[in-house]
Structure formats: structure tokens, C-alpha cells
Amino acid sequence: MNNPFATYQTLRKSLREIALLGSVGSVMEWDQRTQMPPKGAEFRAEQLSLIARSVHEQFTADRIGDLLGELEASGLVADPHGDVGTDVRETRRSYDRAIRLPASLVEEMSRTSALAQQAWAEARKKSEYAIFEPWLAKTLDLKRQQAMCYLAGAPAGSDSMYDALLDDFEPHAKTAELRGVFEQLRKDLVELVGRIASSGRTAPVEILQRRFPVAAQEQLARDAARRVGFDFQAGRLDVSLHPFCSGLVPGDTRMTTRYDEHGFADAFFGVLHETGHALYDQGLPKEHWGAPTGSAVSLGIHESQSRMWENLVGRSAAFWKFHLPKARMAFPEALTGVSEDQWLWAINNVRPSLIRVESDEITYNLHILVRFELEQAMLSGQLATKDLPGEWNAKIKQYLGIDVPDDARGCLQDIHWSDGAIGYFPTYTLGNLYAAQFFAKARADMPGLDGQIAAGEFAGLLGWLRENIHRHGKRYSAGELVQRATGEPLSARPLMEHLRAKAARYYGV
Amino acid sequence: MNNPFATYQTLRKSLREIALLGSVGSVMEWDQRTQMPPKGAEFRAEQLSLIARSVHEQFTADRIGDLLGELEASGLVADPHGDVGTDVRETRRSYDRAIRLPASLVEEMSRTSALAQQAWAEARKKSEYAIFEPWLAKTLDLKRQQAMCYLAGAPAGSDSMYDALLDDFEPHAKTAELRGVFEQLRKDLVELVGRIASSGRTAPVEILQRRFPVAAQEQLARDAARRVGFDFQAGRLDVSLHPFCSGLVPGDTRMTTRYDEHGFADAFFGVLHETGHALYDQGLPKEHWGAPTGSAVSLGIHESQSRMWENLVGRSAAFWKFHLPKARMAFPEALTGVSEDQWLWAINNVRPSLIRVESDEITYNLHILVRFELEQAMLSGQLATKDLPGEWNAKIKQYLGIDVPDDARGCLQDIHWSDGAIGYFPTYTLGNLYAAQFFAKARADMPGLDGQIAAGEFAGLLGWLRENIHRHGKRYSAGELVQRATGEPLSARPLMEHLRAKAARYYGV
């Protein structure tokens, strides 16, 4: 048997080289979405597929399995949260999942996804669900096959099937546990939204639709991102059709946004959101880059970082104590005669609406829960794909109290299912739950936090996140991390407390 | 034996995949020079070296040699200018050269080049040649070793050594042939420069240093690039410290420039120059991309395309018939009271000066010839590196009639030697020679060409270049291509005719 320390170094070196190649793919994707001229698309697809294939081949090589086997048989993995224990456990999980998928299934999923996305785009454009329905059925069939591969003979119940897919996005999460938390959240939210609706109050949202010159928006957003901690020497902010953040390598984290002269909120809160993702990427331990110990825990935890800066911090009264005077200087025309209270209410507007990505902090989660429930029902076969629109519309009516006028604004609004992302949606609401729970604990740990935020000082909060979340990489699962950082298991309570306080402040309910 | 057609397809597929990976490296380099934040440098170096290593490994694999061997033994290579004949011949040349270099030498050259460039930068800054001299000596020693590897036992005379290195940049070129053409050129140029100096006339160059707002410069340059044929749907124009053009893949060719508000010529002629490179890249046959049949002939031929658009077209009276009215609209302030004759003279200024990259179309070549002569003398050992400054200054005095005040403005001005580029400089003058010879033939073939250019129509000239140069890839060597396209071997005559006409027009000599 080889020296296990040397074996570990060999594994780390391989993982780092694979990650390096993967990061080249990420630069190519960033370039595709922000720089590439239209006619570059054909060869770019080939370049990306070459890199993806090469990453997959290198990661699924027998050699990686052998190294993992040797290390698992050594004493080095005794501490599950130590470097070796973490890297071997998490690499094993990804490795087993990767080798269990036959190349033919991967290819068919990739081909189907391309065609399903085309069908979805056409269906949404025409608001004709029938165009997309057979592709959704086929996608679900492939996802069932994928789940069976992951399960590798373990019992295939409806929860374990969904668990298997969820694991691609939120490793170690269990459907049953999520369901417990989400059902409580749903009851509480439906009740709260009902009370807000009956308050009869409407936020002065027209303020946000006044004229906000784009150059000044960009300046304000950049200043805010820099102030909360984004290092522009180690990253960029650009424009793209759909905003995203890509942590390419340590020292190079790139985020994007889009500007609308008559919509202040999009770019500003969008940049705060992406900055939250970026700060997490910039805060992962550089020395472990490429290995699980240097990687983000899960999509849910990643989203918690973006949602915290966007909503818990960015929409707070404390934040605007410091930033509203800056905004008034940047937009003297739009903000003339706007009081602090009006501004805060405008950016904290709550109102049931049809489109998830345009919805507010409270109703957003109900949009997610509809999807979470429906995708489980479709995956298990309990809900036939042809019955989706009816079920969708019924749930939207039940949870949000509004009627869906057409499928384009109903079950056809999101690209995710056409892309085969089943088990992805819940990570958005998990992000909101984690964010509220972390933020409540950070405030409890740092009584002066609101004052710091009101003074434009964010180092305290960022330090707390670095210490309790970022530096750990994947040493703990999302559930363990929440327990460790907050002393409690995941719960809907902190988020509901935050949202109830907001409802009380702005809607008197 | 395998079916040679199938073998050829296999070779082509491999070459294309290697080129695809190489093109990923080119995107990464473009990004590094135009987009990457400063702290991305560390990992970017690793990403680039990973790709370079992988490209080298794949290209030097035994399998490539085996495929070449099979094809060489087949009848498919009978036509040296056919697809197979070209691809096999040129791939064999590159393959043999690549496998003859031991990895240890490649590594030492790479390490030495990094350190030599540092020493050179410091030496130039302090104008202290002694700091750079030992690194130049070491670089030359390594280049001699490299040449010996390429020669693989063939006689190592001073010409064959230089031939071997030249081949990296100008395949198939022979030092002795170049020397013949260059010596005639030198005599003619020295005589012409002397006559211009004695004319006593000075061009009104201050016109070019007036205020040219950068936004208007960019607009004019983009319009000109588009008009001569650059497809902005298949490329970009950005800003970088040192202008360059990178033909990444068919459909994505990217060029850069830099703007100086008080220097019109830099950006405008720089963009025309890079557009010339870009048009060549955009004109290579897409279906052969990745193989020699789809690749540029040589650096000299590439440079001929940039120099033609920059100088033969871009500084002509015909060109400005169309563009001066546009420039007057773009820069009403700077061009007030400037006549067409003054403008043309300003952009066709000739005056001996110290710095190659700032020199004019006529004296530029003398700067190159100094370097061509000195690097040969140093490579053969005829000139000791410690004697370089004295020889440099003597030649500059002899050819250009001016005194070199310090080494920073003398033999330390260029980065090339510190980077190990020996045999590179002559391709610049080859570019000028080829450009003039091609352009003279194009004009002879198309009597209406000047009229087209004066009307802002460039499709005729571009079509001639596509037909006679671009579409051939590497089917012909540079020498063969010149002979085919112009009916004559390479000669200094067309360039001298062009330059003499210019001297007569602007200096009356």
C-alpha cells in the first residue's frame, strides 16, 4: 500500500487540475454570455463540449476511484470534517454519481434538453402548453432513469427518487425533511399574504419606475458592491441578458447585471444579489481550491448568501440610512420629494403576482412551493404532465389568491424544467430560509450590527459569514452548517419572523 | 494497411480537436489582455500552461506520427498542393520540429525567457545594457541548441542555423534568399532616406497631435474597419495596452487598439492594420479550419495583409478622398483649415527616428534590417553580445544618419530578443515587401481599383486577396504564393516603386 499522505496529495493534484480545466470552461461561458460575437456561437459550442467531455473523462477515470479506495482504507479519513475526510467523502459522492450515469443517458439528456428548450421557448411565446407537454413528459422519463442510476438498486420510492435528483443541487438534503419545513412555511405565508391583501394598502412602487439614468445606476451599484466587500481587483461587473455570478478562480470572480432606465430595483438589488454569491466565492479557502474543502456547500447555501445581501441587508431601513443620501445625489430628479418611509415601502412592496422572477420577498416563496410540489407529483407519476396547467392554476389561486390568465404566465414561465432541472427550485427557498436564520444569529451575536450597516460598515457581517460559512468549504453539509452556525436545525421561524416584521411595518398587519 | 481516406479523416479530426483546444487558449489570452482583473493573473498562468501542455502532448503523440507515416506511404499525397498533400507535408514539418525539441530544453527556454524579459525591462528602464547582456547571451545559446535540434544532424552553418529558427515564423524561407532581397532594399532605402533628408522639407505632423476626441476616433475607426470588410457579427474591437488581432475560430476574430486623444494616427492606422490581419483570418477556408489547408501561410504573409490595408490603402490619396470628409465631420475642431494635401503629407511623414514602432513607412524597414543583420551575427558568434550596442549605434548612424543617445532608445528598445524571438524581425519587412508586390499586381489586374477605393468601395480588393491569398491556406509556401499571385518571385522593386512615388509626391525627390 502506498503512503496515504502521498496518495492524498496525488488526489488533490488531480482534482485541482480537473478544476483548472473546468474553470477554463467557465471563462468560455462567461465570454459567451458577455463578449462573444453572434457568429462565434457555432465553434463555442464545440469548445465547451470538448472541455466538458475532457473534465468528465478525467474525473471518472479509474485512477480517481483507486485513489479514493486507498484513502478510504487508510486512517486519514477518521475525522469526517478534516481535510482528508471531507475531500474523500465528497469526492466519492460525486464520483459514484458520475460513473453511474451511462454515457448514452447523458447524451440523450443533453440532446433532449436542447430540443425541449426550443419547444418550451415556442410554447411560451404562443402560450400553447401542448407544444411543450410531450417534451416535459420525455424529460421526466429521463430524470426517472437518472434517479434510478443514482439509486443503484436502493429502494425507489417517490421520495428517494426525488432525493436522488435533489442531491445534484443540495447534497445530503432529504425530501421529507424539506417537506416538513416547507409545509409550515406555506401555511404561514398563505395566511400572511391574505392579511396583507386585506390591509388594502398599496406601496408607492411608481417611485421605482421614474427615470434613473443608467450611468448613475451603475455607479451606485458598483459603490455598494465595493462597500459591502466585493474586490474589483479580483473581479468584474458586466452586463448580460440574464444576470449571473461566476467564481472562475480565486482572484477572478465575475458578476453581471442588466440596467433599465425606468426600473431602479432590477440592477441595484440584482447587483447586491450577485455580490452575495461573489463574496462567498471570494471567501472560500484558496489553498483548497479545486477540492471539496475549497468548494461551496450547496446551491441553497450559495443562494442564502445572495439573498441575505439582497433582502435582509439591502432592503433594510439600516442599509438605506447610509445609501439613501447617496441615491438622492445620484438621482436628484427621481427622488425629489420622496421620503425615507416611502422609499423603504416602495422597495419592500408585497403584492401577489403571476411571474416568479418579478415577485416580492414574501410571495416569492409561494411560487417556489408550487413548483416543488408539482415537480414531485410529476416525477412520481401521481400528476400526469397533461394535467399540469390545471393543477398549476389551482395552486396559484389557492396560495396567492390570483387567477392565471394563460400558460405563458403560468406553468410555462420558467426555463428550468425544459433544461432537466428537477430538484433545483427548492434551493431558492432554502436560500431564503438559511439567509434569515444566519442573519438572525449574526444580529444576536453582534448587537451593534444594525448600527454598523446604518454607518455603511459591512466588515462585521462579512467577517461573521467568513468565519461561520465561507471558510468551511464542504466540511459540513448544509444542514450541519446551519446547526453549527445558528445552534438550531433548519426552521421556517426566522424567515417568518423577518417577513412578519416587514408586514407589520409596511402593511400594519 | 488502413484505408488512406479514413486515415486522412482521422488525422484531420485530431488536428481539429487540437486546434479547438488551442483556440480555447487564445480566448483565455484575449481575456487576459482585455478583461481579466489583476488578481486573476496567478491562476490564469496555470490555466494557460495547462492548455499549452495538453496541446503539445496531443500534437506530439506517436499516433500523429503514425498517421502521417501511413499517409506519406499512400498515393494520396501525390499532389503537393491538394488537401492531403498540403496537410501531410505541413503537419509533418511541424510535427518533426515539435518532437525534436526535448522537454528539458523547452522548459529551460520558457524559464529563461521569463527571467530575461524581467532583466530586459529593468535594463531598458535604467538604460543599462549590462543588466541584459548575460541574459541575451544565454538566450542565444539556447537558440543555438534549438537550431541544432531542428537541424537533426544536417550541416550547421551560420545560414542553416538561422534558417532553422526563421522557419518557426516564415516556413520554407531561406536566409540567403532573404539576404539578397534585403541588401538591395537596404541600398535603395539608404539612398532614398538621404535624398528625403536633403530635401529640407518637413511634414505638418502637428496636425495629428491636435485634439481628437476618443469616442469620435473609435467611431471613425469602426466605420472604416466595417467598410473595408471586417464583419462585426463575427468579431470585436477592444482596447488593450499593446494592439493585437486574434483569429480565435471562424466566426470570432478579435482585434484591439489603443486611443490617444492627441495622436490620431495610432488608433486609426492601428485599427486598419489589425483589420488586415483579421480579414485574412476571416478569409481562410472554414471547412479546413485546424488543418494546414485552413491556416495562414506565414507571419510575413499575415503581416502583408495588415501592412497593405494600413499603408498601401490607408495612407493613399484615394482612400482619403472618401474618408477625409468623414474625418472632418468627426473632428471639426482639429481639421479646421487643414487641406487635403496637408493631411496626406502629415500621415505620410518621413523622418529618421530612433524608435522602430514610431517610425514611418520608409525608415521602418531600415530598423528591421539592422536587427536582421545583428541577430544573425550574434547567433553565429561573429558578433559578441557585449559588442552589440556599439554595432547597433554604428548601423543606425550608417543607415538612418542619426546618433543613438542611449541604449534604451537603441538596442534595448524591443522585447523580442528577450522573449527568444530570433528570426522574427525579418517577417515585418517581408510583410512590407509582399504587401507592395501584391498591391501592385492587384492594381494592374483591376484598373479601376483606385477609383473604387476613392468611392469607399473595397470589395474588389478584398475579393482579389480572398482569391489569390486567403483561400489557399498553406497550400503554397510564401515564396510560391508570391510567384503564383504576381507572376514574379519576391523582389524589392514594387516596394521601392511605391516608396519612391511617395517620396516624389511629398518631398519632391
Instruction: Encode pLDDT of B22-61 as tens digits.
Output: 999 999 999 999 999 999 999 999 999 999 999 999 999 9
Half-sphere exposure of B236 (CA within 13 A, CB side): 21
Of B36, B46, B232, the CB nearest to A37: B232
Mean pLDDT of chain A: 97
Q: Do A31 and B36 touch (CB under 8 A)?
A: no
User: From start to end of B62-191, where are the E strands?
Assistant: none
| pLDDT score recorded for residue B378 | 98
pLDDT band for position B497 (50/70/90)? very high
CA B254/CA B237 separation, integer angstroms = 6
pLDDT band for position A465 (50/70/90)? very high
**CB of B5 within 8 Å of any CB in chain A?**
no
Q: What is the mean pLDDT of residues A118-130?
A: 97
Half-sphere exposure of A112 (CA within 13 A, CB side): 22
Residue the block writes with cell 502583408: B304
The 10s digit of each residue's pLDDT in B367-419 is 999 999 999 999 999 999 999 999 999 999 999 999 999 999 999 999 999 99
Residue the block writes with cell 482534482: A15
CA B94/CA B290 separation, integer angstroms = 13
Which distant-in-sequence residues (6+ apart) come within 8 Å of B143 by Cβ?
B165, B379, B420, B422
> B7 and B70 in contact (C-beta within 8 Å)?
yes
Q: What is the mean pLDDT of residues B490-497?
A: 97
Which is the catalytic residue, given A274, A303, A361, A373? A274
CA B50/CA B24 separation, integer angstroms = 11
The 10s digit of each residue's pLDDT in A48-75 is 999 999 999 999 999 999 999 999 999 9
Chain A residues touching residue B28 (CB < 8 angstroms): 24, 27
Chain A residues touching residue B231 (CB < 8 angstroms): 39
Q: Do B17 and A41 touch (CB under 8 A)?
A: no
How many contacts, defined by CB atoms under 8 Å, are there between A and B? 98
Q: Do B38 and A233 touch (CB under 8 A)?
A: yes
CA A314/CA A441 separation, integer angstroms = 17
| pLDDT score recorded for residue A2 | 76
CA A301/CA A182 separation, integer angstroms = 16
Q: With left for phi above 0 and alpha for psi between -120 and 50, is residue A491 left, alpha or beta?
A: beta
Q: Which of A16, A20, A35 to mutate to test the interface with B (most CBs of B within 10 A)?
A: A35
Closest-CA distance of chain A to residue B69, Å: 27
Task: Map residue A458 onto helix, strand or coil.
Answer: coil
Nearest to B183 by CA among B501, B468, B467, B496: B496
Counting residues of chain B whose pLDDT is more than 70, the rounded percentage is 100
Query: Does A274 participate in catalysis according to the annotation?
Result: yes
**CB of B41 within 8 Å of any CB in chain A?**
yes
The 10s digit of each residue's pLDDT in B209-257 is 999 999 999 999 999 999 999 999 999 999 999 999 999 999 999 999 9
Of A35, A50, A252, the CB nearest to B17: A50
Q: Do B39 and A252 touch (CB under 8 A)?
A: yes
CA B456/CA B326 separation, integer angstroms = 11
Q: Which of A369-378, B1-10, B458-467 has the lowest mean pLDDT?
A: B1-10
Chain A residues touching residue B278 (CB < 8 angstroms): none
Q: What is the mean pLDDT of residues A230-257?
A: 96
Closest-CA distance of chain A to residue B28, Å: 7
Q: Is residue A100's pLDDT more than 80?
A: yes
pLDDT band for position A196 (50/70/90)? very high
**CB of A24 within 8 Å of any CB in chain B?**
yes
Residue the block writes with cell 518621413: B350
Q: Which of B252, B256, B286 to mutate to test the interface with A (most CBs of A within 10 A)?
A: B252
The 10s digit of each residue's pLDDT in B96-130 is 999 999 999 999 999 999 899 999 999 999 999 99
Q: Is residue A343's pLDDT more than 90?
A: yes
Angle, vertex CA B463, rays to CA B461 and CA B469, nearest 5: 95
Chain A residues touching residue B51 (CB < 8 angstroms): 24
**Cα dihedral angle (A202, A207, A210, A211), rounded to 10 degrees?**
-150
Q: Which residue of B has its CA nearest to A45?
A: B20
Q: Is residue A294's pLDDT more than 70?
A: yes
Half-sphere exposure of A384 (CA within 13 A, CB side): 2
**Model's pTM, two decimal places?**
0.94
Closest-CA distance of chain A to residue B22, Å: 10
Q: What is the mean pLDDT of residues A300-324?
A: 98
Chain A residues touching residue B249 (CB < 8 angstroms): 40, 43-44, 47
Q: Is residue A1's pLDDT more than 70?
A: no
User: From start to end of B228-296, where are the E strands?
Assistant: 235-239, 245-249, 252-257
CA B193/CA B203 separation, integer angstroms = 14
Which is the catalytic residue, given B90, B133, B274, B375? B274
CA B84/CA B92 separation, integer angstroms = 12
